[in-house]
Each structure stands twice: as C-alpha cells, then as structure tokens.
Amino acid sequence: MGRNYLRAAKAAGIEITAIYDINADHAQSAAAEYGCRIMSNLNDPDITAAVIAVPTGVHASTAAAFLKRGVHCLVEKPFAATEAECRALIEAAAINRAVLQVGHIERFNPAIVALRAKNLDPAAITSITARRMGPASARITDVSVVVDLMVHDLDIVLALKPMAVTRVEAHGTRDHAEAQLTFVDGTTASLTASRSSAARVRDLHVVTRDAAYNLDYIAKTLVTAEATETLTGDALGAELNHFLACIRNSRLPDVTGEQALEVMKLAWRIEAALGLASENAA
C-alpha cells in the first residue's frame, strides 16, 4: 500500500521528502523511483507529516513514534490492532496537537462524495446493503476479511447513519463474512465481504423513505430513479490532499481517530459473532 501512496502523491504533485522501510531493497528502489531520500530511523527531525502504510500489527508503534513528536500522521486502515492502541494514538495526537487521519479511502471515492453531497437525512435511511468481494490477495494475510475489507463499508455505513448499533448478527469464515446490523431506530444494514470470490464487486445500495441510491465503487457511478452519474477522480490522491489541507488549516480530518475507533469496535463485534474474537478488541 505504501507504493500506492507514493504513486498517488507523485500524480497529485505532492512532494515526497523521504521513505522508511525495514526492507533495504524496497527502500532503495522506491527512493530511486521517486527521487527521495531514505530515512535511517523514525526519529528523523526533518519530517513534519507522515503516511503510515505498514502491517496492521505495527501501526500503533510506528505512528506513535511520530505523533509523540507532533508529526502529523495519516494511518492506513485498519486503524490499529487493539482498542488500547487506537486510544493511545488518539491521545498522543491530541496532546501533541498533531493531525491524525485514518485511511478509509472510500470516503474520497467520487461516487461516495456525490452521494454524501445529497445530504441524506440519517433518520430517513431505511436500509443499506453493501458488497465487497474479490479473489484472495497475497498482500493481506494478517487480519480477517472483516478488518481487511468490510471495514470500508462499516465506515461508510456509520458515516451515512451515525447511530448506535443495537444488534450484530454474522456468519461465515475468516475469508468470507456476511453481517447484519440493526440500528437503534430499527434500520438494518447488510454487509458481505469476501476474499474467495472470482468476481470483483464493490457496491452499495441505500434506501430512504422516498428514494433509492445504487453506487458502484469501481465504476464510480451513482444511480437513482432520475439519473445515472458517472464520476471521475482519484480517491487516494484526494485523501492525501485532504490530509495536507487539514494540516495547513489546523482542522479535523473527515476520518478522525475517534471515528475510526468506532469502526474498529463494530468490526470486532462482527468478528466475535463469527467466532473469530481474539485479544484484538481488548
């Protein structure tokens, strides 16, 4: 994922100062390709902002090394491996007045931006259905499909309907999970995430009291009874530019640490319903 951030930063015209990678060969090839230097350690005094794109288990220790020095951080999802780690990062950012943004990239998908621009009344939403399916990826092996893929949709669901989830039901496996959430007002959200599907699917269906919205993340389309909108734009580049704008203007990002923690807490509830609960939620 670090390579993806490097490509997006270059395409967006964002200057890449330095990189750090425990794999020396990876560091050298990336530095040569993007014309930046290699950091020898995480205490580099010239760094004022950092993107953390490392395995989930070391998100907390890596980000903490920067946040405790007041370095602004964009932490790739999933936020961190445990609730205690998430809270420690939130606290470090607050104490040191650093921007802490979590990389839920779908917030910046042009189709989601268009949907949220319609300012749907959360109370008017009666159901949400989301699917995120595809073949297995060799890149992600350390977390379940819930924390790997479903977190994207959990974040969008909670952004659209910021209400308490009173019931969680789920079935499936570590690589294919289906979950149903019931909100305090009785609304339901059905989510499917799979790393064992031949077809790559990323879609969202939102029903309100008087309308329906069908969104395709891959095609970047938003379909209603009245029209089909086909959007353009790079979500990762938009996410990076948003991070920099928050730093420059001293404002909170769209995905704060507190919001990302709520997503993780819901993901852990789903894992528990699947029988995958571990020390992660402790």
- Number of compact structural domains in the chain: 2
Q: Is residue 168 a contact partner of residue 266, using CB atoms and an 8 Å limit?
A: yes
Q: What average pLDDT does range 202-223 have in this prediction?
A: 97
Do 21 and 114 share a domain, yes or no? no
Do 36 and 79 share a domain, yes or no? yes
Do 152 and 135 share a domain, yes or no? yes
Tokens representing 238? Answer: 């938009």
Residue 35, Cβ density class (10 Å: 0-12 exposed, 13-18 middle, ≥19 buried): exposed
Strands 72-76, 100-103: pairing kind = parallel
Q: What percent of the chain has pLDDT over 90?
A: 89
Confidence check: pLDDT of 141 > 90: no
Summarised one tens digit per residue, pLDDT across range 165-189 is 999 999 999 999 999 999 999 999 9
Do 25 and 112 share a domain, yes or no? no
Do 183 and 46 share a domain, yes or no? no
Do 12 and 36 share a domain, yes or no? yes
Do 125 and 227 share a domain, yes or no? yes
Summarised one tens digit per residue, pLDDT across range 261-273 is 999 999 999 999 9
Do 167 and 270 share a domain, yes or no? yes
- Among 140-149, 214-223, 244-253, the least confident range: 140-149
Confidence (pLDDT) at 142 = 74
What is the rounded CA–CA span in Å between residue 131 and residue 242? 26
Confidence (pLDDT) at 25 = 95
Do 195 and 175 share a domain, yes or no? yes
Residue 41 carries which side chain, given as an amino acid letter? N
Summarised one tens digit per residue, pLDDT across range 20-55 is 999 999 999 999 999 999 998 898 888 999 999 999
| DSSP-assigned letter for residue 93 | H
| Beta-ladder partners of 192 | 131, 178
Do 96 and 126 share a domain, yes or no? no
Residue 50, sorted as left (phi over 0), alpha (psi -120 to 50) or beta, turns out to be beta
Give the rounded distance of the alpha carbon of 12 from its chain centre. Answer: 20
Do 86 and 142 share a domain, yes or no? no
Host domain of residue 246: 2-105+239-256
The CATH number assigned to the domain holding 89 equals 3.40.50.720
Run of H or E including 49:
strand 49-52
For the beta sheet containing 221-223, the strands, ordered from the edge strand earlier in sequence to the opposite edge, are 165-172, 176-183, 188-194, 125-133, 201-208, 212-216, 221-223, 228-230
The reported pTM is 0.93
Report how far apart, in Å, the C-alpha atoms of 233 and of each of 179, 183, 205, 227 are. Answer: 30, 32, 21, 20
Confidence check: pLDDT of 282 > 60: no
Do 98 and 113 share a domain, yes or no? no
